[in-house]
Amino acid sequence: MAAKKSSKSSNVVAQSRKKKSGSSFSASALWDNVKGILGAVLLFFFIRAFFFEAYRIPSGSMIPSMLVGDWLFVNKLRYGPHIPFSSINLPGYAEPARYDIAVFVSPPQIDQPWDPTPTLVKRIVGMPGDTLYMRDAKLFVNGIEQRQGYGASSEVGDPNEVSPLFDWQKEVGLKASRFGPAPGQPTHDNWGPFVVPVGHYFMMGDNRYNSKDSRYWSFVPRENIRGRPLFVYYSWDPDSGRPLPGITAIRWGRLGHWIK
């Protein structure tokens, strides 16, 4: 009898150990999976914050360089990554240059309180210390007329447009200079001269009559610049009129297009 009881007791202990071992294995496997997922998420946010980020073109302000519906990869390392939730910018391997296309946080836009500082993409046309002005739609930098170049194919608009958003220029416009005085009332195609402050840049869209840019909301501080677009990795035409345009109206020729 004693032998039978001993045998039953050992079986119960063995089964109990198996259950505990199985439970421990399941918990360990679950924790390994959780750690793997958390590691992948942290790696994604690290790469997104410091190296590359996807950006969608929502408007036609940069036509023809970039089209509505383009999805870009942005190189954040070039000008120095911005540490999230802080005002700290790390050093990059290059400084913004004239005619670079840059992604940046807009200066406050008083006419859209629901989103006063959106992330935008425009072209740098004014560097720190530059004297800028425009006469009859021609842009001058330090007295030198710039090639129409990027703005040559801009759609036609109102050259005499007057907006309250131009009023900031009245405070910085030069009253006297070798290029003449700034007009009392800046218009879309006639403004300046004024000097770009140190540590700031002047941005304009390639599609100049369909671009709300530095003419409207002033200079962009260096610390607001977030990166430079690299290439289009996906593109579709939202105005195609086709059902499910993200699938049926893909611009195959745009895929892999490098931004210049």
Domain ranges of the chain: 50-254
Read off the pLDDT of residues 229-248 as tens digits, 9 standing for 90 and up: 999 999 999 999 999 999 99
- What is the third-level CATH fold of 50-254? Umud Fragment, subunit A (2.10.109)
Read off the pLDDT of residues 145-179 as tens digits, 9 standing for 90 and up: 987 666 556 666 788 889 999 999 999 999 999 99
3-state SS, one letter per residue, for the chain: CHHHHHHHHHHHHHHHHHHHHHHHHHHHHHHHHHHHHHHHHHHHHHHHHHCEEEEECCCCCCCCCCCCCEEEEEECCCCCCECCCCCCECCCCCCCCCCCEEEEECCCCCCCCCCCCCEEEEEEEECCCCEEEEECCEEEECCEECCCHHHCCCCCCCCCCCCHHHCHHHHHCCCCCCCCCCCCCCCCCCEEEEECCCCEEEEECCCHHHCCCHHHHCCEEHHHEEEEEEEEEEEECCCCCCCCHHHHCECHHHCCCECC
Residue % of the chain over a pLDDT of 90? 63
Check residues 38 and 114 and name the one with the higher pLDDT: 114
